[in-house]
Amino acid sequence: MSDRLFIFDTTLRDGEQVPGCQLNTVEKIQVAKALEGLGVDVIEAGFPVSSPGDFNSVVEISKAVTWPTICALTRAVENDIKVAAEALKYAKHGRIHTGIGTSDYHIKYKFNSTREEIIERAVSAVKYAKKFVEDVQFYAEDAGRTDNEYLARVIEAVIKAGATVVNIPDTTGYCLPDEFGRKIRFLKENVEGIDKVTIATHCHNDLGMATANTISGILNGARQAEVTINGIGERAGNTSLEEVAMIFKSHHDLNIETNINTQKIYGISRMVSSLMNMPVQPNKAIVGRNAFAHSSGIHQDGVLKNRESYEIIDPKDVGIDENSIVLTARSGRAALKHRLHILGVELDKEKLDKAYSDFLKLADRKKDINDDDILMLVGKDRSANARIAIDYLQVTSGIGMRPVASIGLNIAGEKFEAAASGNGPVDAAINAVKQIIHRKMTVQEFLIQAITKGSDDVGKVHITVSYEGVHYYGFSANTDIVAASVEAFIDAINKFIV
């Protein structure tokens, strides 16, 4: 009989902490429903005390989602816990996730405290959370760098206080896999009452070992894996949900099962990538563009003779249909709607008509339409009600001449026009925008990324604009890279001009 591994997804909490990847409540609900369909057991919906937006998201996700447990993060602070309990009042299954740092780094430098005081605060937090919900999870922040004997004391104390799940995070991604596995095994063997609770792993990827550490922890007794879609998260990211799910699906001999419907992995991967404006690297395991691509002649020959020669995963097992309908300028609304459905996007008739119109325009400019192209199209709807919109953009440039751009903007219904030159067509266009919008803002970062190969490709532009000491993030995609750059610049400006 196989052991059950619970999947705890923190895409909407830890994943959403990535700069420039913030979602609004409607988008969070969309992701939460997709996570429910995927089969995750626990959704960490946010950190309610951190902002009114996070509080509201936890409330609305609690209303929208039926069977998964909805979890809210707190510090070991009574007000945090009280606010989290209030946000969870509509959850069918609510969990408060409270905790405190346990490494000497945190105890000395973060809290200016002592080991005994930290245990007292941990116990007090769990007991207080227990007044609101039965399901209380405790995290020992920076457990990866906490010595095992002291960690065992903390964990034993919070179990006695009523914790139902104990989370052992490798917060800084420091541990080696065998080291992390031994830590979990030590707790299993030395903590009284550990058999009555679930041990969770929460591993970061600073040294590229998040998934390896998570698997090592599970093989040594952990039965909850804290993960994110596409491995997004603080700094270098978190353990990838798709990697953990497919490791245990591929290694039947480990006798560990999850509730994940793996055929929905690709669709939710692309949805999260699109909503968060965060491209999936081409060589990303499981969901990257090249995950099932073979360029070597030897590999191609082997795959053609027998797929398993070089593929340990059937692409269809993660939702990549090799025989999927190919979208072209001659495709109809039904084909587009079908592909969007596979990608986890449902549109009403009005939005589908708009998406189809944009799709036809794109299809006339591109030979091949891929999933990322489609998601970029429907993603543009999110900025449809922005205060500033482009009426027109015209750029003249060439060898031996200085680029000049003319632009027309619609700002809250009022029309403005300007022209400017620059060091290149993008610089000229942005200078033209600056002539209309007189603010002291500077471009801090400018990234252009092609989705696929080819001169007719859709280019994605990420831009960071600094205004009054705060960074604002803009994003756009277009087959015209100058247009995409200006759209991304205005997307950032819309976030600080009200």
- Ligand-binding annotation for 202, yes or no, is yes
Structure tokens at 497: 């001009």
d(CA 343, CA 232): 19
Distance CA 359, CA 435 (A): 33
Residue 213, helix vs strand vs coil: helix
213 carries a ligand binding annotation? no
Give the residue among 475, 477, 474 at the shortest CA–CA distance from 452: 477
CB atoms within 10 A of CB 452: 14
Q: Which amino acid is at 212?
A: A
Closest CA to 122 of 75, 167, 72, 73: 75
Contact 213, 203 (CB under 8 A): yes
Give the torsion through C-alpha atoms of 378, 384, 390, 394, to 10 deg.
10
Annotated binding residue 93: no
Dump the DSSP string for 43-98: EEEE-GGG-HHHHHHHHHHHHH--SSEEEEE--S-HHHHHHHHHHTTT-SSEEEEE
Which conformational region is residue 85 in: left (phi greater than 0), alpha (psi within -120 to 50 degrees), or beta? alpha
| Six token digits for residue 28 | 């969070």
Residue 108 neighbours by CB distance under 10 Å: 12
97 is in an annotated binding site: no
The position carrying tokens 């990420």 is: 462
How crowded is residue 44: how many other Cβ atoms within 10 Å of its Cβ? Answer: 27
Binding annotation: 14, 202, 204, 238
Binding annotation for Mn(2+): 14, 202, 204, 238
